[in-house]
Amino acid sequence: MNVGLKTLTVSEASELLSSGQISSVQLCSNYIERMEKVEPQIKAFVYFDKEFVLNAAEKSDIRRKKGIQLSPFDGIPISVKDLICVKDQPCSCGSKILKGVKSPYDATVITRLNEKGFIIFGRNNMDEFAMGTTCENSAYYPTKNPWDLNRVPGGSSGGSAAAVAASEIPASLGSDTGGSVRLPAAFCGVVGLKPTYGRISRYGLVAYASSLDQIGPIAKDVHDVAILLDVISGKDYFDSTSLDKEDVCFADVVKNAGSSLKGMKIGMPKEYYIEGALDESVFNDIKQTEKLFKELGAEIVEVSLPYSKYALASYYIIATAEASANLARFDGIRYGHRYKDSNNLHDLYLNSRKEGFGVEVKRRILLGTFVLSSGYHDAYYLKAQKVRTLIRQDFNNAFKQCDLILSPVSPCPPFVAGTLTDPLQMYLADIYTISVNLAGICGISVPSDIVKDIKLPLGIQLIGPSMGEAKLLKAAKIFEDNRPVKKFVPNY
C-alpha cells in the first residue's frame, strides 16, 4: 500500500498501524523512497542507515503480530538533529571537528522513543553546533526550504523542519537555544515546540549554551507535538536540571481542546509591534491572528515587556560565554578532527580548532571568551545575567494579566539563501524567540498563513509561562483548527 505521506501525521500513522492497514516495513519503505527521491535537492539529512531502519521496522511488525507492541506508536519513524546521541551512530553537530565521532550511548530522549517503539530514522542537518538562523552554517551542505529551494529553511534545526515539511519523515527532534526549533518550523510551515527549561532531559544532547538549551519536537500538527512531548518529557536521573512530570497527558489535552478560547486572555506585548520593525506580511498576519483569537472567544489584552529591547544583547553575551566553555572540550585530543603536523600540545590545540570550527562558531567562541575574560566579566556576563532577571520579571508580570502571549516567530518570511551574511543581522532574526529561552518558559510556533505572492509559509508564536504547556498546546490546537489555511503542504 502506498500511503499519502504528504499530510500523514504521527497520530494517523499510528491508526494505520494499529488497524493493520499498513506494516511498519511498508511505512518506513515509503518514507525511504520519498527521502531518496527528494534528498538530492533538500539535503535535510546528514546520516541515514537503511538496513538499520528496515531491521527495526521488521522487529516492530513482529511485535505487533504477537500483540506485544510497545505503544500505539510502535514502528513509526522519527529523525533527530545531528546533536542528539544515538548509540553507535555518528554525532557530528554539523561540524568538521566531530566528523567520524560515534556516540557511546543513547540520549535519554532516544531511550524514551525506543521504549515506545519509535524507529530512529536518521540524523538531520543543522547549523554547526546549533549556531545559526539559516541552516547554511553546516560543515556538510546547506539545507533547502521545500517551499522554495532558493530560500533557507531557517535554523539551526533546519534539517529537522525541512525533512518534516518535505514529508521525508513525520516528525523530528530539534533543539532550541534561542529559537532554533521555532524559527525553522515557521519557515517550513510545520509546528515546533520549545518546552519549558527542564521539561526534557538533555542527557546526550551536545551542549551549546547550557542555561538555555532545550530539546523540542517538530511535526506536522499540534497533536503530534503533544504526543512526542508526552513520550520524551519528565525527570531524568542523568540530568539534574530535568523536572518532574505533572499528571497530565498533553495529547489528551489537545484532543479535547474543543473549539472555544472563551475565558482565555491573550497578551499582545506593545514593544513587539512597532511599525517598520516587522515585515508587512508578518504584521498583517499577526493582526489577522489577533482578530481570529477574538472571534474564538479569547480576550486580547495589551501587556508590556519593557526590557525586551535588551534581550538580544543579553542573549548573545550569555549564550556565547557558555558556548566558549562548552566547546573548549573540542581540542583535537579526545574527539574527531586533529591537525596532522603538530609536535607540541599548544600548536595542536590552536590548529585543530582552527581547522575544525567554521567561522560562525569561531566568532561566538571569541565573543564568549571576551565577555568572560579578566576585566570584562562583570561588565558583560554578570550584567547580562542581571538583565536576564529583569526579562524574567517582565514575563512574570505579563502573565499576571494574561494566560498566553501572541508574537511573531521571525520578523520576516524565509530569507533567500546566501543573503544573510552579516552576523548581527542574522542575530536580529532571533529577536522574537530568544526572550523565551532567557526566561526559561515555553513557546510554540504554529503555521498561520501563506504569503500570497511568494507562496511561503508564515508562523505565529504563542508563549506560555513556566510549565504552561497544557494551556499553550490547547490554544495552539484551537488556532490550528481555525486558521485561514487548513493544510500546509509545499509543492515540493
Partner 1 sequence: MSNKKNTAKNIDVSYVASLARIRIEDSEKQKLQDDMNEILGYINMLSELNIEGVEPTMHACDVKNVWREDVPEKKNIKEYLIANAPANVDNDLVKVPQVIPGEEEA
Q: Which residues are catalytic?
A: 81, 156, 180
* Per-residue cell: 193: 515546540
Q: Which is nearer to partner 1, 380 or 488 (CB)?
A: 380
- CA angle 172-413-429, nearest 5°? 80
Binding mask 435-464 for partner 1 (x = CB under 8 A): --xxxxx-----------------------
Q: Binder to partner 1 among 424, 452, 453, 486 (CB under 8 A)? A: 424
* Per-residue cell: 353: 580548532
- Residue 446 and residue 169: Cα distance in Å, rounded? 18
Is the Cα torsion angle 69, 73, 76, 77 positive or negative in sign? negative
Which residues are 217's β-sheet partners?
A: 173
- Residue 348 and residue 217: Cα distance in Å, rounded? 38
Q: Which is nearer to partner 1, 360 or 449 (CB)?
A: 360
Interaction of residue 274 with partner 1, rule CB under 8 A: no
Instruction: Compute the least distance from the CB of residue 176 to partner 1, in Å.
Output: 12
Q: How far apart are the first and last CA of the chain?
A: 22
Interactions with partner 1, residue window 101-120 (CB under 8 A): 101-105
Q: Directed axis angle between helix 222-232 and helix 108-115, to 10°?
A: 110
- Residue 133 and residue 148: Cα distance in Å, rounded? 17
Interactions with partner 1, residue window 306-325 (CB under 8 A): 309-310, 312-314, 316-317, 324
Piece of the chain touching partner 1 by CB under 8 A; list 97-105, 121-129, 262-270, 274-282: 97-105
Interaction of residue 369 with partner 1, rule CB under 8 A: yes
Interactions with partner 1, residue window 461-480 (CB under 8 A): 466
Interaction of residue 208 with partner 1, rule CB under 8 A: no
* Per-residue cell: 134: 539559516
Closest CA to 122 of 70, 54, 69, 204: 54
Q: Binder to partner 1 among 78, 80, 348, 473 (CB under 8 A)? A: 348
Piece of the chain touching partner 1 by CB under 8 A; list 18-26, 47-55, 96-104, 454-462: 96-104
Query: Which residues have C-beta within 8 Å of that of residue 413, sequence separation ≥ 6?
Result: 187, 279, 281, 282, 451, 454, 456, 457, 458
Interactions with partner 1, residue window 210-239 (CB under 8 A): 211-212
Q: Which is nearer to partner 1, 427 or 432 (CB)?
A: 427
Q: Binder to partner 1 among 153, 155, 189, 336 (CB under 8 A)? A: 336
Binding mask 44-83 for partner 1 (x = CB under 8 A): ----------------------------------------
Interaction of residue 376 with partner 1, rule CB under 8 A: yes
- Residue 172 and residue 162: Cα distance in Å, rounded? 10
